[in-house]
A and B are shown apart, each in its own frame.
Chain A
Amino acid sequence: MILKNFKWFTLLIILFVVAALIVGFSCGGLNLGIDFTGGSLVTVKINEDYDSEAVRQAALEVDGISGDVSVVKAGENMTEAVIRIQNSGSEATEESLALQMVENIQKIYPNASYEGIESVGGTASGDLITSAVMAVVITSVLMLIYIWIRFDLFSGIGAVLALVHDVIIMICVMCIFRIQVDSTFIAACLTIVGYSINATVIIFDRVRENMRTLNPKEYTKAKLLDRSVKESLERTINTSLTTLIMIVALYIFGVESIKVFALPIIVGIIVGTYSSNLLAGSIWMLLLEKFGKQGVGGRKRVKAIR
Chain B
Amino acid sequence: MKVRKLLLLLLVVILIFASTYLVVFGVSFGVKEFTPLRAIKQGLDLTGGVSIVYEAADPSVEDLDTKIEGAMEIFRTRLDDKGFTEATVTRQGTSRIRVEVPINETSEIQDPSEIVDFIGKPAKLQFLKPDGTVILEGSDLVSATPMVSNETGRYVVSFEMTQEGGEAFAEATRELAQASSNRYITITLDGETISQATVSQEISGGSGIIESSDFTQATATELAMQIESGALPLDLKVLEQRSISATLGDEALQNSILGGLVGLAVLMLFMIVVYRMPGLMADIALVCYITLVLFVLALFEIQLTLPGIAGIILGVGMAVDANVVIFARVKEEFYTGKTLRSSLKAGFHKAATAIVDSNVTTLIAAFVLGIYGTGSIKGFAYTLGISIVVSLFTALVVTQGLLYLLAAIAPNGKRMYFPKKKVKGGEAE
**Stretch with Cβ within 8 A of B (4 or more), from A61-69, A122-130, A172-180:** A122-130
CB–CB B376/A242 < 8 A? no
Interchain CA distance A135-B367 in the complex, whole Å: 10
Interchain CA distance A74-B377 in the complex, whole Å: 27
- B-contacting residues, A184-222, CB 8 Å: 184, 186-187, 190-191, 193-195, 197-199, 201-202, 204-206, 209
How many residue pairs bridge A and B at CB < 8 Å? 208
Q: Which of A186, A198, A250 contacts B313 (CB 8 A)?
A: A250
CB–CB A239/B320 < 8 A? yes
Residues of B within 8 A of A267 (CB): none
Residues of B within 8 A of A235 (CB): 321, 324-325, 328
CB–CB A253/B259 < 8 A? yes
Give the interface centre of A82, A138, A206, A253 by most chain B CB atoms within 10 Å. A253
Q: Which of A205, A247, A253 contacts B354 (CB 8 A)?
A: A205
* CB of A301 closer than 8 Å to a CB of B: no
Interchain CA distance A74-B245 in the complex, whole Å: 9
Residues of B within 8 A of A249 (CB): 259-260, 262-263, 266
Interchain CA distance A254-B34 in the complex, whole Å: 29
Interchain CA distance A198-B371 in the complex, whole Å: 21
Q: Bin the interface of chain B by size.
A: 35 or more
Question: In the complex, how many angstroms separate the beta carbon of B98 from the nearest chain A beta carbon?
Answer: 8
| B205-246 contact mask (Cβ, 8 Å, vs A): 1 or 0 | 000000000000000000000000000000000011111110
Question: In the complex, how many angstroms separate the beta carbon of A38 from the nearest chain B beta carbon?
Answer: 8
**Stretch with Cβ within 8 A of A (4 or more), from B15-23, B71-79, B247-255, B333-341:** B247-255
* CB of B148 closer than 8 Å to a CB of A: no
Interchain CA distance A143-B361 in the complex, whole Å: 6
> In terms of DSSP, what is the predominant structure of the interface of chain B?
helix
CB–CB A73/B306 < 8 A? no
CB–CB B93/A242 < 8 A? no
Question: In the complex, how many angstroms separate the beta carbon of B195 from the nearest chain A beta carbon?
Answer: 30
CB–CB A72/B245 < 8 A? yes
From known contacts A138-B372, A201-B357, infer whether A191 and B259 are also in contact, taking CB-CB under 8 Å. no
From known contacts A235-B325, A239-B321, infer whether A201 and B316 are also in contact, taking CB-CB under 8 Å. no
Q: Which of A121, A135, A253 contacts B262 (CB 8 A)?
A: A253
CB–CB B361/A135 < 8 A? no
From known contacts A258-B255, A306-B353, infer whether A242 and B377 are also in contact, taking CB-CB under 8 Å. no
Residues of B within 8 A of A127 (CB): 92-93, 96, 374
CB–CB A184/B376 < 8 A? yes
CB–CB A209/B350 < 8 A? yes
Give the interface centre of B247, B365, B366, B372 by most chain A CB atoms within 10 Å. B365
CB–CB A184/B307 < 8 A? yes
Interchain CA distance A306-B349 in the complex, whole Å: 9
CB–CB B365/A128 < 8 A? no
From known contacts A73-B245, A197-B362, A238-B324, infer whether A135 and B314 are also in contact, taking CB-CB under 8 Å. no
CB–CB B380/A131 < 8 A? no
| A240-262 contact mask (Cβ, 8 Å, vs B): 1 or 0 | 01110111111111110110011
Residues of B within 8 A of A242 (CB): 267, 270-271, 317, 320-321, 324
CB–CB B317/A138 < 8 A? no
* CB of B39 closer than 8 Å to a CB of A: no
Residues of A within 8 A of B251 (CB): 255
CB–CB B369/A190 < 8 A? yes
Give the interface centre of B239, B271, B369, B377 by most chain A CB atoms within 10 Å. B369
CB-defined A-B contacts under 8 Å, sample of 17: A72-B243, A123-B53, A131-B374, A146-B364, A191-B380, A191-B384, A197-B361, A202-B358, A205-B358, A242-B320, A246-B317, A251-B259, A253-B259, A257-B252, A257-B306, A258-B252, A306-B353
